[in-house]
A and B are shown apart, each in its own frame.
Chain A
Amino acid sequence: MALPVAFFAVFFAWPVAAIVARGLDVDGGWRFGRLWDVLTEPGIRHVLWFTTWQALASTGLTLLLALPAAYVLGRFAFPGRQLLRAVVTVPFVLPTVVAGTAFLALLGRGGLLDELWGVRLDTTVWAILLAHVFFNYAVVVRTVGGLWAQLDPRQEEAARMLGASPLQAWRRVTLPALAPAVAAAALMVFLFTFTSFGVVQILGGPRFSTLEVEIYRQTSEIFDLSTAAVLTLIQFAAVGAILAVHAWTVRRRETALRLVDPAVTARRPRGAGQWALLAGVLGTVAVLILLPLAVLVQRSLDAPGFAYYEALTRADGGTFLVPPIEAIGNSLEYALAATAIAVVVGALAAAALTRRDAGRFVRGFDALLMLPLGVSAVTVGFGFLIALDEPPLDLRASWILVPLAQALVGVPFVVRTMLPVLRAVDVRLREAAAVLGASPWRVWREVDLPMVRRALLVAAGFAFAVSLGEFGATVFIARPDNPTLPVAVARLLGRPGDLNYGQAMALSTILMVVCAVALLVLERLRTDRTGEF
């Protein structure tokens, strides 16, 4: 317990507190009056309103489009199911700069929709909503689908035997079992879209601004730290509330459901209705997820031969001191380090959270660990600058800063994956082993480890994929000689010229493939109780 708490305090709480304090503390006096000033600014009120309603709309739309897919992936057996699960998860780990570019190519001028029907959605709110669905589709599919696959169909059958109609059986048996999972997924999507940054910046145009974008602007462009501090506090409060509700639904979900092996429940689709549903889901995935990804691939190949890919292997001395291709190696190194940190911290936290004598405080810590997901990277980054500037913790120029920041985002995923599995380990097994004279270490080794091994691997894989695509923290890489993939893409897009644009597309494609492969490997390692974000 001590390590996760220390990690969280030093690398998250302290930097954030430092930067917020810097913003509110002017000439030795705390200016809480600023709170009121900022809140009553019409511009800020507009931002708050937009942030909230677009998150609600995005969440609704995501549920609408992803729930059928959750059912199909949870309950149907068909060839390519694993591939499909991996494919829908790719967007979730893609850097927003890449996805934003793909969506512009699709919805913007001269994009596919424009060519087919003359429809242009960029700089409309629709572009933002669709991109949010693209990113968060996997959250719903994995969270709800994972549980759906494991619900014992015999319970519904028993209800039918007792005379319930199919609808009644579903409403009385399946729905209550699924509801907490749906709620948890919805809250997660709401959290991600409420704090959306890259999507809104790239696709929304200047007329739309979320709280997160506004914090970034106030900190980095206008340099009004006190306004930024107030906005950070507001976002904190909102995110805290969302997480509190989320934690509550998660606990409700961990009530004793009878779960079975997903392999038992999956059947081939039967009847026209089920086949139509499957076709519909595949169609949605094709349009919503494969199409934007395909646009990137197509543009990366839009030169004779593999010219863009070849260009990646040359250093031009300008933007890059090293060939851009080296960014792949850098990214993998950072991601490995971040994964190691996240797995150690996350697993320890999860272990502490499952102890039966865990008090209220510890359970609260569970939700706290999720906070980094909802705090803007720019706040944490600027906080790092002023908080971690004294030896032995002067990490400002150190490469370790990046994996640390990425691990902050990875830890919640590790905890989410480990927790249900650890909680499902029957306490009596441990007690029996202890009674028979096993040391605590041996109990853990003989009882827990075999059960959580796969969960650990899945958690590690997730943390790995998340850090590969993570862009916010990598902005602090102050080392031009080792850019990561997303940073390299952003740099290439930031320069005029055909070769630069093409290389950006080629690197994005490579990143996508790396993520997809990592996720496919994960699919092979599915645990018995996954799917809790």
Chain B
Amino acid sequence: MSITKQAAIVAVGLGLVALSACGSSDGDRASGGDTRTVTLVSHNSWAVSKDVLAAFEKQSGYQVRVLEDGDAGQAVNKAILTKDNPQGDVFFGVDNTLLSRALDNDLFQPYEPKGSDRVLPEYRADGDEHRVTPVDTGDICVNYDKAYFSEHRLAPPDSLDDLIKPAYKDLLVTENPATSSPGLGFLLGTAAQYGDDGWTGYWKKLKANGVKVVDGWEQAYNEEFSGSAGGRKAGADRPLVVSYASSPPAEVIYADPRPETAPTGVAEGTCFRQVEYAGLLSNARNPEGGKALLDFMLTRTFQDDMPLNMFVYPVTGDARIPEEFAQYGPQAKDPRTMDPAKIAANRDDWVKSWTSLVLK
């Protein structure tokens, strides 16, 4: 081996080290004393159109940095763990099932954004303290595969009571509430409808009626549900799945070519309402920037832009619902809800009882 070759190898090695040591892209520097940057911490479903965000940056003079910290539960837990020295200024994405955990751990400081008065009253939380602001809402509902039900000349189910009827035996797939937020929402929906003691009886019947449980939404929807694109390819044979009211519009929007009608529908009497909140983190380094960002989240620009990016509904009364939503995934008229404090008090026990009841 020649000396030049050796030298080349050493050089390449050193070059690699140098490359890993520098090359940090701009905006990586922690926003220590930088008051021109505002940092948003969120879960990995956060999405906003580029031009909308750019408009905010231009109008407010703040640069927005976004950190995504895993799924919803993980992101909240990480935020709580780091609350004394937070990673950002604003946290987005704590939903009503996790709200109490965040509030009890003093994750947020009070701030009432401009435009809070336009938020529809059914979404408001935390009374007069204003530690959190509702940003979006969505319904967790049973979706059905239209083709299956028309083929079998069977009416799709429309309520939780329908799901335990023999006609729908072995048709439903749901998610494990311990590991999936739609799964948890569905469980809470049954608890809201049948009461603190009644829901176990309902689940016994559901189990007897052949409900299938998988761990996560991806698997339930893409692998088990016959109405989804992935499911159709996999030859899935469960025409009922616990998903979101906004899933049918997504099936239309992300199909090429777009079908005339959505291949799936929503069983409107099975829904549980999820609301997602944002708040100013307790020890935010740039509280002023954080406040501006929260104000922005309630503007019409943002509320109008949100639905087709995150597949959620706006919370302000004046926002425009996209046509696809109105057409393929209308909001449930009378969804189940539950007080966040009640969820916090019972959640772990319910998930434990559910596990031993349904999985054992």
Contacts and interface: CB of A to CB of B under 8 A. Distances in A.
Interface residues of A, number: 78
A389 B85 contact: yes
Given A104-B219, A109-B223, A496 B251 contact: yes
Nearest to A389: B85
Interface in B22-68: 23-25, 28, 30, 32, 39, 41, 44-50, 65-68
B174 to A, nearest CB: 10
Majority DSSP secondary structure for residues of A touching B: helix
A407 B228 CA distance: 38
Nearest to A503: B254
B155 interface: no
Nearest to A320: B47
Given A221-B73, A341-B20, A497-B255, A478 B87 contact: yes
Interface stretch (B120-128, B189-197, B229-237): B229-237
Contact of A391 (B32, B214, B222): B32
Contacts of A223: 73, 77, 80, 101
B56 to A, nearest CB: 15
B69 to A, nearest CB: 6
B30 A391 contact: yes
A23 B231 CA distance: 41
A385 interface: yes
A346 interface: no
Contact of A220 (B1, B67, B73, B256): B73
Contact of A499 (B41, B234, B237, B254): B254
Nearest to B264: A496
B254 A496 contact: yes
B206 to A, nearest CB: 15
Interface string B348-360: 1000000100010
Interface string A478-498: 111110000000010111111
A339 interface: yes
Contacts of A307: 256
Contacts of A317: 47-50, 309
B213 interface: yes
Contacts of A163: none
Interface in B149-186: 176, 178-179
Given A317-B309, A403-B20, A109 B81 contact: no
Contacts of A115: 235
A500 interface: yes
A205 B19 contact: no
A319 B47 contact: yes
A111 interface: yes
Interface string A208-249: 000000000101111100000000000000000000000000
B24 A500 contact: no
A144 B67 CA distance: 44
Contacts of A105: 234
A510 interface: no
A493 B70 contact: no
Interface in A167-199: none
Interface string B59-96: 00000011111110110011011100101000000000
A385 B78 contact: yes
Contact of B30 (A319, A397, A494): A397
Contacts of A206: 176, 178-179, 213-215, 355, 359
B228 A398 contact: no
B71 to A, nearest CB: 8
Contacts of B48: 317
Interface in A375-426: 382, 385-386, 389-391, 394, 396-400, 403
Contact of A498 (B32, B256, B309): B256
A336 interface: yes
7 contacts: A104-B223, A206-B359, A222-B178, A340-B20, A398-B24, A493-B218, A501-B229
Interface of B: 1, 6, 9, 13, 16-17, 19-20, 23-25, 28, 30, 32, 39, 41, 44-50, 65-71, 73-74, 77-78, 80-82, 85, 87, 101, 176, 178-179, 213-219, 221-224, 228-230, 233-237, 243, 247, 250-251, 253-256, 308-311, 348, 355, 359
6 smallest A-B Cβ distances: which pairs? A110-B235, A497-B254, A498-B229, A340-B16, A478-B67, A337-B20
Given A220-B74, A497-B250, 6 more contacts: A206-B359, A220-B70, A223-B77, A476-B69, A480-B46, A501-B233
